A and B are shown apart, each in its own frame.
Chain A
Amino acid sequence: MALDKPVFIKPKLTLFNIIIGIILVMGLILTILRFTKGIGAVTNLDNNNPWGIWIGFDLLCGVALAAGGYVTSASCYIFGLKRYHSAVRPAILTAFLGYALVVLALHYDLGRPLRLPYPIFYSQGTSSLLFEVGLCVFLYLTVLFVEFTPAAFEWLGLKKIRAIVVKLILLLTIFGVILSTLHQSSLGALFMIVPSKLHPLWYSGYLPIYFFISSMFAGMSMVIFEGSLAHRYLENEMDATHKKEASGVAFGFAKAASLIMMGYCATKLIGLAVDNNWHFLGTSWGLWFMFEVVGFVAFPAVLFAMGSREKNLTMVRFAAIWTILGIILNRLNISIVAFNYHLPAADRYFPSLSEIGTSVFIVTLGIVAYRFITTRMPILHEHPDYKAH
C-alpha cells in the first residue's frame, strides 16, 4: 500500500529502472539537440509536411487517449454511476499527465517555450480553431490539475483546502465535459481546412464528430487497459474496494464502448454515403480504410460486446488494447498516412529516429510520473482518514 504521508523512497536498481533511465538520458540529449540546433536537426519535417508524429502521435493520440478523465468523472458524478468511483482518480491522473505531456510535446514542435502564454494572454486568434484548441487545453489542464489535487492534499495532510476542492468536484466535472466536447471535436475540425490534401475516405464534414465519438471509446479503453496494468504491476497499492470494483468497471465500460463504437461505425458509413465515396473502397486506400474501421473499430466492438456479455475479463482487456491501437492508427492515418496522399513517394514524410526517440521519451516521462504518484498518493486506494468520499 502507498505511503499516506510524504517520505523519501530510495530508488531500486531494477531492469525496468535501468531501461527507463537510458530512455530519459537519451530524451534529454534529444531535447538539448532540438532546442540548440533547431527543428531541422532532429526531424524529417519540411514545407510539405509541417506536422509529424509529435502532432500526429503525441498530441492527437495523447488527447484522445486522455479522454478517460472526462468519461469516467462524467459517469460517476454527472450520471451518478457510483460503482465507477474507484476508477475516477486513476483516470483523472492519467488524463492530467496525458494533457501535461501534450503541452510538453507541443514545445518540441513550436520550439519557443516562453511564447506559450501568447495565444491566450497576448494575441488571441479568435477566428482560429487552433486558438480554441489551445484555450480548451489550457483550461482543461487547469481543471484536471484541480481535480487531481484532493489526492495530493490527502497525502500532504491538508484537510481544509481538500474539503474546499471536493465541494467543487461536480462543477469541475461539468466544466471538464464541456471543454472536452469542444477541443476533442476541434482537433478533428482542424483537418477540414485541407480537403485537397487529406484522402477523401478520411476527409469528411463529420471529422469533428468522428474525433469526439472516438475519444469516448478511446478514454474507456484506456481506463480498462490502465486498470489491467495496475492490477498486474501495482496490486499492492490497491485496496479491497478497488480490487472488488475493477472487473465491474471493465465490464461496464466495455458495454458502453461497444455500443459507442458501433455508433461510430454507423456514422462512418453515413459519411461515406453523404460524400458518395463508395468507389474509393475498391482501391488500395479503400482496403487500408476498411482495415482501420472494420479491423480496429467493428472487430473490437464485437469483442467488447462478447466480453461484457460472457463476463470474460481477458477478452475485454484484449479488446481495449486493440481499440487503443485502432485510435492510434486512425489519428496517424489522418495526420500522416492519408495526408498529402497525392505526393510522390520521395516527398512523403517518415519520422526520423530522433522524432521517434523524443516521443518515446515523452511517453516514458508519463509512465515514471504515474508510477511516482501512485506509489505515494491515494490514487488506487482510499486514504484511511478520508473514507467514502
Chain B
Amino acid sequence: MGAVGARRRWLVAVAGLALAAAACSGGGGGSGSDDPLSGNTFENPATEKILTFTGVGKAHISGTLTLPQNAKGPVPAVLIVPSPGLTNRDGRTVGAPIDNLYKDLSKSFVNAGMATFRYDHRGAGASTLDPGVVPTWDDMVSDAQDALKFLGERNEVDGTRLSLVGHEMSGPIALKLAAADNRVKSVVLVAAPGRPLVDVWAGEFQALSGQQSADDLRALVANLETTGSFPPRDAMRPDQQTLLPIGQDALYKGMFAADPLADAKAVKVPVLIALGDKSTSISAEDASRIGKALGGTSEVVTAANATATLQTLKAAPARVVPGTPAT
C-alpha cells in the first residue's frame, strides 16, 4: 500500500471517529444499539468473565477477565490499559476500522499461562457515563489505577505478580502505575510516544498536509491550554476538525499537557518497547527516548513491515515479466 493511500485511509478513519465521538459525547452513547462497540460477548465462556468496577465519579467501568484454561490456583495477570479516548476492551475505537489489538494480545498471553484484564474506557462500550459528564485525562489515569487494584484483589489472580501493557498514550499511564506499585513486575509499551503528544501530531500533520498544518495544530493546542477548549470546529482546518472529537476537550487538554516521560525514571522493572516500522507517527526516536529515560532496563522490538498496532502489511505483488519463468 502506498503512503498516500495509507494516509487517506487514516483520514477516513479519524473522520469517522470524530463523527461518532460527537454522537457519543456527554456519555451514555456507548450503549446505544447502533454503537459498534456494544455487544461485548464471551469468546470462551469457560475462561472469560465480564466484570465491572467503579471508577472516580461513580463511573461503572466494564471489562473482561480472561483466565488460562485449566488454571489451578491464582495465576499471574496482565492489565491491558486501553488507549485514551472512545476505545473498548478489544482495542476498537469508535469510527475507526476494526482492530482488535487488545483481544489478540490477550489470547497470546492467556495461552502462555497469564490472566488478562482489559476494559472499556469510560464513555465507550459498556462503560457508560451519565449525560453531560465528560472524561478527563485524570479519569483515564485513575481508571487504570482502579483497574489494577481491582485485578490484584481477584481470587483468581496472584496479586503479587502483575504486569501492564500500555498502548499509545496509555503508555505513560502504564509507566506511572509501574513507578508507584511494586506488584508490577514488567511493562510492555506498544506505539507509545517518547515526545509530547503535540510534537507527535504536528509531525503527522506536517507529513500529511505540510508545515502550515503543523503550525495550525500547535496553535490549536496552545489555545486549548489557555482556554480549556478548542475553537468551534468550523473554525479549524478541515483535516483537524476530523482529528479532534467534539466533547473530548478536557481529555485532550490533559493529554497534550502530559509529559510521556514524567514517570519513566522511577520505573525500575523491565520494559519492552514495541513498535511497527511502518508507523507514521511513532518511531525509533520515541523508543530511544523512552529507553534512555527509564530507571531500569529496556528492550526495543520492532515489527518489520508492520503498522503501529503490529499488523503486517501485505507484500507488494511480485512483478512477472512476460516470457520469464516464475521463480
Whether A associates with B in a native complex is: no
Query: Which residues of A come within 8 Å of B, CB atoms?
Result: none
Query: Which residues of B come within 8 Å of A, CB atoms?
Result: none
